[in-house]
C-alpha cells in the first residue's frame, strides 16, 4: 500500500506565523499599556481636583540631605554625582491641634550638586522661621510645603492612553493583514 502524499509545504510558512505572532503580541502589549494609562486617568483627575489649604507654619529644624545618583547607560560610562536638597521639619496648628511634618523646603539650590548653596538655604530656615504649609482638608495630618500643580499622569493618560491603544491595535491589525496577504501569495505560487 502506497502512503498518501503529504500536502505541499508552503515556503516560509513558519516565518510568516512568527511575524504574525510577534506583531500581535507587541500590538497587544502596546494596547495594554495604553489601557493601563487610560485606567489611571480618573484617579489622576481626582488628585488634580484636590484643593490643599494653606496655613501658617513654623520651622522646627532644617538640614541638607545628600543623595548619590548614577548616570550613564553602560557600566563603563557610569558617572556618580552627589545631589543636595534642603529638608525641613515643621509644625502647624489646626483647630487647636498641633501637627508636624517633614518635607523638602519650598526653596532649593539652583544647582542640585552645589553643597554650598544648599547649606546657605538650610541656614536661612532657622527654628521659628515662618513657612507656608499646605494641608489636605480631608486629612489634616497630611501636609507639604509646596503647592503642587496639575498632575502630569492625567494628561499622559488622557492623550497617550488612546494613542497607545490605537497604535497597538493598528500594529496587530497590520500584522494580521500582512500575514494573510503573504500566506495567500505563497499559496498562489
Q: Which residue in the block uniquely carries the three cell numbers 543636595?
A: 84
Which residue, 86, 78, 96, is CA-closest to 146? Answer: 86
Per 3-state DSSP, the chain is made up of helix, strand and coil in percentages (nearest 5) of 45, 30, 25
Give every CB contact of residue 38 below 8 A, 6+ residues apart in sequence.
157, 158, 161, 162, 165
Question: How high is the pLDDT of residue 47?
Answer: 66
In angstroms, rounded to a whole number, what is the distance separating the alpha carbons of residues 129 and 105?
12
Name the packing angle between helices 13-49 and 161-188 (round to 10°).
Answer: 170
Q: Which residue numbers in the chain have pLDDT < 50?
A: 7-8
Q: Which residue in the block uniquely carries the three cell numbers 481636583?
A: 49
Residue 161: count other Cβ atoms within 10 Å of its Cβ.
20
Classify burial at 125, counting beta carbons within 10 Å of its beta carbon; exposed 0-12, middle 13-18, buried 19 or more.
buried
Q: Specify whether the CB–CB gap between 132 and 54 falls below 8 A.
A: yes
In angstroms, rounded to a whole number, what is the distance separating the alpha carbons of residues 74 and 136?
43
Q: Specify whether the CB–CB gap between 20 and 175 falls below 8 A.
A: yes
Cα 134 to chain centroid, rounded: 24
pTM of the model: 0.54
How close are the terminal C-alpha atoms of the chain, in Å?
31
Beta bridge partners of 138: none
Q: Which residue in the block uniquely carries the three cell numbers 500582512?
A: 178
Amino acid at each position: 500500500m502506497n502512503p498518501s502524499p503529504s500536502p505541499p509545504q508552503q515556503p516560509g510558512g513558519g516565518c510568516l506565523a512568527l511575524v504574525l505572532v510577534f506583531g500581535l503580541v507587541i500590538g497587544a502589549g502596546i494596547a495594554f499599556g495604553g489601557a493601563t494609562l487610560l485606567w489611571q486617568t480618573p484617579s489622576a483627575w481626582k488628585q488634580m481636583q484636590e484643593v490643599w489649604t494653606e496655613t501658617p507654619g513654623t520651622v522646627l529644624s532644617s538640614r541638607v540631605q545628600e543623595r548619590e545618583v548614577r548616570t550613564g547607560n553602560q557600566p563603563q560610562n557610569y558617572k556618580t554625582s552627589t545631589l543636595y536638597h534642603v529638608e525641613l521639619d515643621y509644625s502647624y496648628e489646626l483647630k487647636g491641634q498641633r501637627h508636624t511634618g517633614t518635607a523638602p523646603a519650598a526653596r532649593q539650590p539652583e544647582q542640585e550638586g552645589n553643597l554650598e548653596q544648599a547649606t546657605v538655604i538650610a541656614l536661612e530656615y532657622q527654628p521659628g522661621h515662618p513657612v507656608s504649609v499646605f494641608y489636605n482638608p480631608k486629612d489634616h495630618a497630611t501636609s507639604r510645603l509646596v503647592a503642587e500643580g496639575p498632575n502630569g499622569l492625567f494628561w499622559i493618560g488622557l492623550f497617550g492612553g488612546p494613542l497607545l491603544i490605537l497604535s497597538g491595535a493598528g500594529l496587530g491589525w497590520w500584522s494580521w493583514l500582512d500575514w494573510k496577504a503573504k500566506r495567500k501569495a505563497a499559496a498562489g505560487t
